[in-house]
Amino acid sequence: MNRETITQALADRLFAIDGIRTTGRKPKAWDQVSPSDCPCLFLGVGSSHSMNPVGHFQMWRMEFLAYVYTHDGSQVGPSTELNGIIDAIDVALQRGPDDPNGMGVETQTTLGGLAHAANVESVVTDEGSFGDRAVAMVTIQVLAAG
């Protein structure tokens, strides 16, 4: 397992989502991003946990945090764009043509064979309830053999 290779493969998938204006692997606080740079997606690294059941090979559960920021000063509000990006993250983590065994909507990506699976674990968002900006933190779980 190579953590950096896995992190970059995940970033490549997420940063390719249509409509994202600003990306980075060094997260910025939502109030440090100008409205003209939105929508943004920053990828941070969370915790890692070793899973080593007796008699089985070691697996790592790695957590990544995708920070998504949108801005919309119209009557529509920023949540519409935010929800579309959250859905696009789900789609980006579906098995694609670069994954062993081909593609399929029912299965999770292996990030080109680097991991066992990568999927959205949870989403926390303000939905733009307090103004022209919306913020979401999408937790992505990656399982990889150690």
Kindly report, residue by residue over 11-58, the tens digit of the pLDDT. Answer: 999 999 999 999 999 999 988 999 999 999 999 999 999 887 666 778
Annotate 17-79 with DSSP letters as a single string: STT--EEESS---GGGS-GGG-SEEEEEEEEEEEE--TTS--EEEEEEEEEEEEE--SSS-TH
For the chain, list the domains and their CATH numbers.
3-145 (3.30.70.1700)
> Among the listed ranges 32-36, 80-84, 129-133, which one has the minimum average pLDDT value?
129-133
Could you tell me the pLDDT band of residue 102, with boundaries at 50, 70 and 90? Answer: low
Q: Please give the pLDDT value at position 106.
A: 58
| Cβ atoms < 10 Å from Cβ of 146 | 10
Record the pTM: 0.89
Q: What percent of the chain has pLDDT over 90?
A: 59
Burial class (CB in 10 A: 0-12, 13-18, 19+), 41: buried
